[in-house]
């Protein structure tokens, strides 16, 4: 999850304003499913769910902005870009529903364009490690700096503390 936090922090480029986190034991005495909501100073919102309970392996990151939806699937290693014409006048909830239906049947809804963006395949963690080793060999600035890593780790620790505080409040 730290990798995902690091990626989101670098994309958003804004401090966290609010953090909400919940984690529950389902199969064990430890947290088996967790949900985190981060709201940033610039208004961006990020939601994370991590689960050992799920029956399927899902590794997705989704971005919503006016008239556009992007879905990056780390498992399938593809990026789906959906553009909605401004004339369609759809709100984000409706856009998400249409995007889901469009992705399921491979056909765009009226007023939408659907396209897969080419991506370079690779295992994200392996690529991150290779990038770090390469920067050490070249004595160059890594893609993920020490400060970036420290910020992601600090945020992960805050999330763990918020999950623990929630569990105490609920008597878990």
| pLDDT tens for each residue of 21-70 | 999 999 898 999 999 999 999 988 888 888 888 888 888 888 888 788 88
Closest alpha carbon to 159 in 19, 52, 24, 30? 19
Residue 45 counted as domain residue: yes
Domain count, the chain: 2
Please indicate, yes or no, whether residues 50 and 66 belong to a single structural domain of this protein: no
**Average pLDDT value for residue range 81-95:** 66
Please indicate, yes or no, whether residues 69 and 124 belong to a single structural domain of this protein: yes
The token pair that represents 19 in the structure block: 């953090």
**Average pLDDT value for residue range 94-122:** 72
Please indicate, yes or no, whether residues 80 and 97 belong to a single structural domain of this protein: yes
Q: Is the pLDDT of residue 150 over 80?
A: yes
Q: Which residues contact 152 (CB under 8 A, 6 or more apart)?
A: 2, 3, 5, 6, 9
Of 9, 37, 55, the last residue of a domain is: 55
Please indicate, yes or no, whether residues 122 and 72 belong to a single structural domain of this protein: yes
Please indicate, yes or no, whether residues 69 and 117 belong to a single structural domain of this protein: yes
Q: Which residues contact 34 (CB under 8 A, 6 or more apart)?
A: 21, 22, 23, 24, 48, 49, 50, 51, 159, 163
pLDDT given at position 18: 95
Which residue blocks in the chain are alpha helix, DSSP H?
Answer: 2-12, 92-105, 124-138, 146-170
Q: Is the pLDDT of residue 137 over 90?
A: yes
Residue 14 counted as domain residue: yes
What length does the chain have?
Answer: 172
DSSP state of 111: T
Give the separation between CA 145 and CA 17, rounded to whole angstroms: 22
87 φ/ψ sector (left φ>0, alpha ψ -120 to 50, else beta): alpha
């Amino acid at each position: 999850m730290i990798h995902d936090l690091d990626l989101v922090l670098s994309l958003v480029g804004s401090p966290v304003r609010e953090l909400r986190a919940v984690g529950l034991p389902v199969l064990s005495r430890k947290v088996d499913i967790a949900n985190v909501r981060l709201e940033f100073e610039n208004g961006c919102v990020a939601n994370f769910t991590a689960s050992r309970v799920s029956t399927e392996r899902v590794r997705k990151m989704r971005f919503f902005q006016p008239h556009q939806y992007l879905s990056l699937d780390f498992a399938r290693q593809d990026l789906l870009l959906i553009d909605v014409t401004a004339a369609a006048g759809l709100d984000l909830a409706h856009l998400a529903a249409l995007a889901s239906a469009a992705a399921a049947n491979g056909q765009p809804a009226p007023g939408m364009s659907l396209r897969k963006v080419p991506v370079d395949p690779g295992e994200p963690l392996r690529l991150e490690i290779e990038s770090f080793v390469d920067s050490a060999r070249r004595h160059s600035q890594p893609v993920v700096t020490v400060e970036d890593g420290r910020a992601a780790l600090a945020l992960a620790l805050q999330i763990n503390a918020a999950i623990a505080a929630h569990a105490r409040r609920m008597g878990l």
